[in-house]
Structure 1
Amino acid sequence: MTNKQKTIHRRTALGSILAGIIAGLAGCTSSGDGGDDRSADGAGDVIQSVDVDGLELVIELERDTIDQFNVVDPSGELFAKRAIESGVSHTTIEVGTDYPPGEYELLGLNDDEPVETTTVTLEPDLELTELRLAREYPEEMYEGASDSQIDAEAILSVTNQGTGPTAVTALRFEGDVPFPTHESYDENNESGIYDPENDFGADADSITIPADETVLVYSNSLPFLPVNVQTKCNSIGRDGRFTVHLSTTHNIANITLEYLIHYLSADSEDCVIEIEETA
């Protein structure tokens, strides 16, 4: 899925060189009638479109009009530059998941002179939208999940409603969940997230969440371990509370969900759990 956003400014007179940026990253002043400010659905003459696709900026250009393309980050530092060869109408810029959020300036230049500029905002907006017990949705677990993993793990839906990608780096369960995340996970810098690329069940370093997408994230710390359910049932009685917390490569606050957990005991040797999100 791509996230298209662009504000194109066709400048008719060149202004002063941008302070703090390398030679050739010059600003342009607008024409007397306010210039040609295009909407997100418009297109520039030279920089024809800018899309956020996964971890990249994808830029479509008019052929043979510029020989260099620069990207300047929100602090005014050069983020990336590309030489544009004759006949080229497409280029990409790797954004990754650890970029500074904010407005980026994209400049097309020819012989070090600005031809056209556009801005694009890269800013993730992450939300933990749903938590489900894997045992209740075994068909949605990752391929190769064992019965013990299905019984003990959780499936989380994580949505990025922002304009730039990010990555989840840690998953923690706190409170009256059967098996809260142990403090050793923080001490050893373990994410507590299943790595779908690892055949040995190791923790993932991170899970990428592209802009405008929802990604399933799987716990890897056994928060609903069945052997602990009976113990909790006996110790806290019927009802409890727990919190799920995500950490990311960007400082996004309040990526949490709070849940009620009900321990339902039919007899002294049988206890089942139900969860519900708090209002």
Structure 2
Amino acid sequence: MIKHVGIQGMTLVAELAAGADIDRINLIEPNGEFVGQRQVAGGTQRVSFELRPAYTPGKYRLVGLKNEEEVADVSYGIQPDLRIVDVGIGKYHPDRMWNGSSRDTDDEAFVAVKNRGTGPDIISKLLFIGDVPYPSDEDGTNYENNDRVSGIYDPSSDSEQAEVVIAAGDQVTLYSSRSPFAFVPGAGVSCLAQPQSGQFELILENQVQETKISRTYDIEYSASSEFDSCDIDIGEV
């Protein structure tokens, strides 16, 4: 009777077979808790449930009822799986940055993120920790522990955005909003007369899994006579 279940954004959608004899459908969380119920009027072919921003990943059950009797029971696993797949500096990759804004992109970064899972997730913070010119911790912009700052730029509004939803199977590009690759006197790394090398950790904070998705990169600086004029090269560890 329930022929297909899938995820669209933050919505769980169940498609019903033609002529399905069901009065309503209940959604049950992985821990067995009741989530919600949808009435099924005659001719209805789909019902949907909005997932909470911090929903519990795992196997959900859709239970179809007819006159209080269970007539259908379908399970569907909802589990996000975020992976950082690419990162770059705007100065060296202008084609990967945004268009239509007067804001300078040279010192900002793009971060490509893929959701290889079966459920959506919400990214709420973008951090650069370690040997970058202007890190996100106390050595730089110092927003690592500030819940009101995400570090994510939204070109469409020309402002910082609080969160980004990434649907199952989708890939999104995030942009930094706090110039992690700007050379600032007294903060992070500055250019020296000899080449330098180090590492930094790129971190995404997310709401569903409530864990930090991170990846470590090598970073190299060319020699320079000025504190802000060396070239930067990023490589995978």
Fold shared per TM-score above 0.5: yes
* Corresponding residue for residue 32 of structure 1: none
SS in 2 for 1:139: helix
The whole-number CA distance in structure 2 between the counterparts of 1:259 and 1:226 is: 19
TM-score by length of 1: 0.75
User: Per the alignment, do residues 147 and 267 of structure 1 end up closer, same or farther by CA in structure 2, a change over 3 Å counting?
Assistant: farther
Q: Tell me the alpha carbon deviations over residues 47-68 of structure 1, each in whole angstroms, 9 at most, x when there is no partner.
A: 0111112211221113351110
Mapping for residues 55-134 of structure 1, pairs under 5 Å: 55-62=10-17, 63-134=19-90
Greater displacement, 178-187 / 107-116 = 178-187
Between the two proteins, what is the percent identity of the paired residues? 34
The whole-number CA distance in structure 2 between the counterparts of 1:237 and 1:253 is: 35
Query: Which among 93, 106, 123 is matched to residue 151 of structure 1?
Result: 106
Instruction: Verify: 1:241 aligned to 2:196, yes or no.
Output: no
The whole-number CA distance in structure 2 between the counterparts of 1:49 and 1:251 is: 25
The Cα shift of 1:143 comes to 3.0
* Corresponding residue for residue 234 of structure 2: 275
Q: Which runs of 5+ in 2 are unaligned?
A: none
Mapping for residues 174-193 of structure 1, pairs under 5 Å: 174-183=129-138, 184-189=142-147, 190-193=149-152
Say whether the 8 Å CA contact 2:101–2:155 is kept in structure 1: no
The whole-number CA distance in structure 1 between the counterparts of 2:196 and 2:111 is: 24
* Structure number having the greater helix percentage: 1
SS in 2 for 1:152: coil
User: Per the alignment, do residues 75 and 235 of structure 1 end up closer, same or farther by CA in structure 2, a change over 3 Å counting?
Assistant: farther
Moved over 6 A (4+): none
* Corresponding residue for residue 251 of structure 1: 209
Q: Tell me the alpha carbon deviations over residues 122-142 of structure 1, each in whole angstroms, 9 at most, x when there is no partner.
A: 111111111111222222222
SS in 2 for 1:128: strand
The Cα shift of 1:252 comes to 5.5
Q: Which amino acid aligns with 1:238?
A: Q
SS in 2 for 1:162: coil
The whole-number CA distance in structure 1 between the counterparts of 2:180 and 2:100 is: 19
Query: Which among 110, 117, 120 is matched to residue 165 of structure 1?
Result: 120
Task: Count residues in correspondence.
Answer: 230
Q: Tell me the alpha carbon deviations over residues 221-277 of structure 1, each in whole angstroms, 9 at most, x when there is no partner.
A: 100014569961129842121111111002365611111111112544741111111
SS in 2 for 1:205: coil
The whole-number CA distance in structure 2 between the counterparts of 1:48 and 1:106 is: 11
Q: Which amino acid aligns with 1:188?
A: N
User: Per the alignment, do residues 107 and 256 of structure 1 end up closer, same or farther by CA in structure 2, a change over 3 Å counting?
Assistant: same
The root-mean-square deviation of aligned C-alpha atoms, in Å, is 2.3
SS in 2 for 1:151: coil
Query: Which among 204, 207, 211 is matched to residue 168 of structure 2?
Result: 211
Structure label with greater radius of gyration = 1
Q: Tell me the alpha carbon deviations over residues 10-42 of structure 1, each in whole angstroms, 9 at most, x when there is no partner.
A: xxxxxxxxxxxxxxxxxxxxxxxxxxxxxxxxx
Q: Which runs of 5+ in 1 are unaligned?
A: 1-45
* Corresponding residue for residue 220 of structure 1: 177
